[in-house]
Amino acid sequence: MNTQQNPVIALTLGDAAGIGPELIARLLSQPGITDGANIVLVGDAWLWQDGQAIAGHRIATQAVASLAEVCSRAVQHMPAFLAVDTIQPADVQRSQALAACGTAVLKVLDLCMDGAKHGEVDAICFAPLNKQAMKMGGMQHENELHHFADYLSVTGYFCEFNTLGDLWTSRVSSHIPLKAAAAMLSKERTVDAARLIYQSLQASGTAAPKVAIAAFNPHGGDGGVCGREEIDIIAPAVEALHASGFPVDGPFLPTRFS
């Protein structure tokens, strides 16, 4: 783990057929954007050049030969650039999901995760990916989150967080067909999602997080008329959390149901 003041953030260019490279160029063109982090761009040099040209911004970077070099850089306000060779321009068709693009994305992400394993990277931020292309390119999982978990040997419960200022949300399911969402809902997964985000908020510096559990249905089930998920699954999960002394609240109370 990096012990410097600024964390090392590996920033990837995303799918070569998408908008990632130009978004990264526009992001890094903003004044002060690199003040709080030691950023290393990871991607193909030609793709980065294309992204800057499309965005209309030229970003000064410092070339590095490995992720291990990034932490000890003397000038950390300038992004580092680790050039890799994962895909050729002739293999890319803009706005198309292609196996070659998916394979390239996986190579870059795996390289960054190796850096995280070795303590060379504190966080990974990736520009937009294409799940179809990644599956075409060899990803064996339903999405990148499960690929990350498998690659990093995560055995406990995991899920995505969405953040907006001080508001964080966790999920029981994500990136699945809508018709499959109800089947993914369970008391155990609801409890695990609540505990995970509470512990993560504590780890991020929030001393006493407040966790609310949302209903599955916008109507809260309406006493079972619009589904029994709130009655049979979510309310028991809230009860179990309360019984264990876990501070959780929700838009409904177990006593409301009969």
Write out pLDDT tens, residues 140-157. 998 999 999 999 999 999
Name the more confident of 221 and 132: 132
119 vs 160: CA distance, rounded Å: 22
Q: Is the pLDDT of residue 4 over 70?
A: no
Is residue 233 within 8 A of residue 186, CB to CB? The reply is: yes
The 10s digit of each residue's pLDDT in 69-113 is 999 999 899 999 999 999 999 999 999 999 999 999 999 999 999
Please report the pLDDT score of residue 148 as a whole number: 97
Q: Where in the chain is the domain with CATH 3.40.718.10?
A: 8-151
Whole-structure pTM value: 0.86
Domain 8-151 has CATH 3.30.450.40: no
Q: Is the pLDDT of residue 2 over 50?
A: no
Please report the pLDDT score of residue 255 as a whole number: 37
Please report the pLDDT score of residue 249 as a whole number: 66
Kindly state the average pLDDT of the residues 52-75: 96
Q: Is the pLDDT of residue 1 over 60?
A: no
Name the more confident of 222 and 70: 70
Q: What is the 3-state secondary structure (H, E, C) of the chain?
A: CCCCCCCEEEEECCCCCCCHHHHHHHHHCCCCCCCCCEEEEEEEHHHHHHHHHHHCCCCCCEEECCHHHCCCCCCCCCCEEEEECCCCHHHCCCCCCCHHHHHHHHHHHHHHHHHHHCCCCCEEEECCCCHHHHHHCCCCCCCHHHHHHHHCCCCCCCCCEEEECCEEEECCCCCCCHHHHHHHCCHHHHHHHHHHHHHHHHHCCCCCCCEECCCCCCCHHHHHCCCCHHHHHHHHHHHHHHHCCCCEECCCCHHHCC
* Residues facing residue 164 across a β-bridge: 167
Which residues are within 8 A (CB) of 28 and not within 5 positions of it... i.e. 6 or more apart?
A: 34, 39, 57, 59, 79
Q: Is the pLDDT of residue 256 over 90?
A: no
Given pLDDT bands bounded at 50, 70 and 90, which one contains residue 247? confident
Name the more confident of 175 and 68: 68
Kindly state the average pLDDT of the residues 174-200: 93
